[in-house]
Structure 1
Amino acid sequence: MIEFRPAVAAFAAFFCAAPTFAAEPLQIGFVYQSPVSDVGWVAVHESARKQLEKEFGNRIKTQVVQDVKAGPDGARVIRELVGNGAGLMVLGSFGYMNDGLKAAAENPKVNFVHASGFRQAANFGTYNARWYEAAYVAGLVAGKVTKSNKLGYVGALPIPDVVSTINAFALGAQKSNPAAKVSVVWVNEWFNPGSERDAANTLMQQGADVIGSGFQDNPAVLQAAEAKGVWSIGMFSDHRKSAPQKLLTSLTHDWTPYLRQAVQDTLDGKFKGTAYAATLANGGVSLADWNPGVPADVVQMAKQARADIVAGKLKVFAGPLKDNTGKQRAAPGASLPDSDIAGMNWFVEGIQGAIPR
């Protein structure tokens, strides 16, 4: 059984020597931004980690350090895990990027994979997901089920992944309902149930009757919406248990295929620091089942849009595309390149609110 220890715990007990008669297992450190729970970002990582343990058996040994804030704490935890023998590090938060890159440069024989980052090195790979593909489809449905034409999104931290997801949701909603508007409230944290609940309540007080959970690592937003009988959209995990009546769907993902390959490549000495993107097409991104209350024709519309995205017929950020200041971002007939989406720091037309700087 794996022992989960907070960042303040000692590491000596984990990286103990393997028996002399057995091959040394690959030691893998998992560093998480939030506490381990049943749903959310960290829960998806945990699901992948447990599956890796089943598949690789005694060839690997894993260690989890949870609730590690980016900055000095993150740098210290990374150093200690590497110093105690980790051969592969899984850095599960955007904020670990710079400290992880520094550790990778100082330890070229250790491999690193980093969630949602945009910088790579020979021994430092990144993994991310095009949540915006699923968010666009969810937005199409939200535009159809809203009665007030007011939609809300609770944003965690204003990194490009969060911004592009909210933008795609708004574009989908406006496609199916041109009168739809989206308001955003930021909490500037990945995990703060109290602030997230307050943000959701603020949006509902403003008239929003569909609320999106924007990268929160817990179900507080969904539970607040459920308590008021308001539609909600989950993130990362299937949140039907948290909002059994009013959850429209959840934007989900699976890191298992990518992490499986990273482990195997490390064991084989073939690891390369590349960028991986989970998508609707490769199955790394998906949508949970639609709420039974969504009309059949709306579900069919969503399924068709999803199929068109997978087939490459539908580009989420296709022109003509303007931001909410009126500036053109993509001309008619063009679409934003991946590099622009990966650095997105502006809101599309129809979103009310600003991005914190």
Structure 2
Amino acid sequence: MRKIIITAFVILFAALIVIFKIQNEQITDATANTTKIGVLLSGSRSDQNYCQTHYEAIEAIRGKLNLNVVYRENVDSNCEKVLEQLIKNENCQLIVSTSFNFCEDVKKAAEQYPDIYFLQMSGNTYRHNLTSFVGRMYQARYLSGIVAGQKTKTGHIGYVASLPIPEVIQGINAFMLGVKSVNQNACLHVSFANSWTDDKQAKAATELILDRYPIDILTMQTDSNEPCRLADKRGVLIIGSNRDNSAMYPDTYLTACIWKWENYYSHQILSFLQKKFNPSVEFMDLEDDMVGLSPFTPHVSPETRKQVDNAIKKLQSWKFDVFYGPIQDNHGILRVDSDESMSDDEMWNKFNWYVEGVIVEETGPGGA
């Protein structure tokens, strides 16, 4: 019997070696030649924020996949000419679009150039040469809300947001639901910058709520670093967004809601190189490791870490999600019934209300 088990183990081990060898050869064959790809960024590759997360992820896989990468920075939402230049002049075979604002022009380009392939962040459509991917960042924001709810002493938390669109409102509400799961008495003051990247508008939106209220924790959903800088200057604790910038603010940083693009880009681009491109609209969550929290700093207590770990387990069990009812809005109206949950369409396309405890600054820059 023992001999049979050993023999079976040897056969299994040999089979695994063969499979690994075949996969390695397939990767080597696919990456034997250099492939030119283009990357559209709405800001700078060194913005220490959203755009840099994409840049760092692509750079991390560049050598392994033998890529020649052409970056286009500070691209306007009207990017038709930039796409044409990447395709016709630079001869890029695949385009990575990192902003929802590029969606319409990318969709047109995919139809116009059927032999060029496209990856679209926050897209809502697909075709044979276009795949869209969406990260459920609201799950990470919910977890960061637990951190804020546990840490606040004044009960006043600030949120600097970019634009009053469904995706951003989704993030605000998810954060507040996380706060309320551990602290029923806290409130969330929201100030809109009316821009994703404008530093002056982000600065004004931040100062508005920091000047008005005894806010002791500030978070944000913007690609500007001004909210972090101003909060740190005033000694207000920070929950960052997009990228871990804890090294820049060691005295005030708690954690951040971060993007982790590397695994997704590696898989999708390798599939393209292997001629196995799989078009779809793919939603990625905590379990897929596209979104998450950055490592906690020493300012986060062991008790809070345990509560976050427990919430992660609940989310990964598929028995709970952030927008499970009952949920009331900030006017006392029941929006999600008990034992019901919001659909993706409602969360991503129709969110136009705020949960209980959210106070939107009507007179702020771009106030909703």
* 1:75 is aligned to 2:76: no
| Offset at residue 81 of structure 1 (A) | 0.9
* Aligned twin of 2:323: 317
User: How far apart, CA to CA, are the structure 1 residues paired with 2:164 and 2:116?
Assistant: 30
- Between Structure 1 and Structure 2, the one with more helix by share is 2
| Offset at residue 267 of structure 1 (A) | 1.6
* 1:264 is aligned to 2:239: no
* Aligned twin of 1:92: 98
User: How far apart, CA to CA, are the structure 2 residues paired with 1:328 and 1:110?
Assistant: 47
User: How far apart, CA to CA, are the structure 2 residues paired with 1:300 and 1:192?
Assistant: 37
User: How far apart, CA to CA, are the structure 1 residues paired with 2:257 and 2:289?
Assistant: 12
* 1:29 is aligned to 2:38: yes
| Offset at residue 113 of structure 1 (A) | 0.9
| Offset at residue 64 of structure 1 (A) | 0.1
* Aligned twin of 1:55: 64
Give CA deviations for 1:124-177 in whole Å, capped at 9, x if unaligned: 111221111111111112112112211111111333332211110011111211
CA contact (8 A) 2:194 2:201 kept: no
* Aligned twin of 1:161: 167
Moved more, 102-111 or 292-301: 292-301
User: How far apart, CA to CA, are the structure 2 residues paired with 1:278 and 1:252?
Assistant: 13
CA contact (8 A) 2:253 2:299 kept: no
Residue type of the alignment partner of 1:83:
K
User: How far apart, CA to CA, are the structure 2 residues paired with 1:206 and 1:313?
Assistant: 40
Q: Which residues of 2 match residues 104-123 of structure 1 at below 5 A? A: 104-123=110-129
| Offset at residue 188 of structure 1 (A) | 1.8
Equivalent position to 2:258, from 247, 252, 256: 252
* Identical pairs, percent: 28
| Offset at residue 270 of structure 1 (A) | 2.1
* Aligned twin of 1:335: 341
* Aligned twin of 2:233: 227
Larger Rg: 2
Moved more, 204-213 or 129-138: 204-213
Change (3 A) 1:236 1:324: same
The aligned length equals 331
| Offset at residue 322 of structure 1 (A) | 2.4
CA contact (8 A) 1:246 1:291 kept: no
* Aligned twin of 2:192: 186
| Offset at residue 101 of structure 1 (A) | 0.3
Residue type of the alignment partner of 1:92:
T
Equivalent position to 1:124, from 99, 122, 130: 130
Equivalent position to 1:347, from 349, 354, 365: 354
User: How far apart, CA to CA, are the structure 2 residues paired with 1:310 and 1:155?
Assistant: 27
Change (3 A) 1:55 1:159: farther
Aligned residue for 2:118, secondary structure, equals strand
Equivalent position to 1:41, from 50, 55, 59: 50
Aligned residue for 1:90, secondary structure, equals strand
CA contact (8 A) 2:202 2:224 kept: no
CA contact (8 A) 2:137 2:291 kept: yes
Gaps of 5+ in 2: 1-30
Residue type of the alignment partner of 1:64:
Y
Change (3 A) 1:248 1:310: same
CA contact (8 A) 1:223 1:242 kept: no
Residue type of the alignment partner of 2:237:
W
| Offset at residue 306 of structure 1 (A) | 1.6
User: How far apart, CA to CA, are the structure 1 residues paired with 2:209 and 2:248?
Assistant: 19
Equivalent position to 2:142, from 111, 133, 136: 136
* Aligned twin of 1:13: none
| Offset at residue 38 of structure 1 (A) | 5.4
User: How far apart, CA to CA, are the structure 2 residues paired with 1:356 and 1:312?
Assistant: 36
User: How far apart, CA to CA, are the structure 1 residues paired with 2:32 and 2:310?
Assistant: 51
CA contact (8 A) 1:116 1:161 kept: no
The TM-score normalised by the length of structure 2 is 0.85
Aligned residue for 2:95, secondary structure, equals strand
User: How far apart, CA to CA, are the structure 2 residues paired with 1:301 and 1:24?
Assistant: 48
Residue type of the alignment partner of 2:306:
Q
Equivalent position to 1:305, from 297, 302, 311: 311
* Aligned twin of 2:16: none
The TM-score normalised by the length of structure 1 is 0.87
CA contact (8 A) 1:225 1:231 kept: yes
CA contact (8 A) 1:253 1:278 kept: no
Give CA deviations for 1:165-196 in whole Å, capped at 9, x if unaligned: 11100111112111111121111222122221
CA contact (8 A) 1:231 1:247 kept: yes
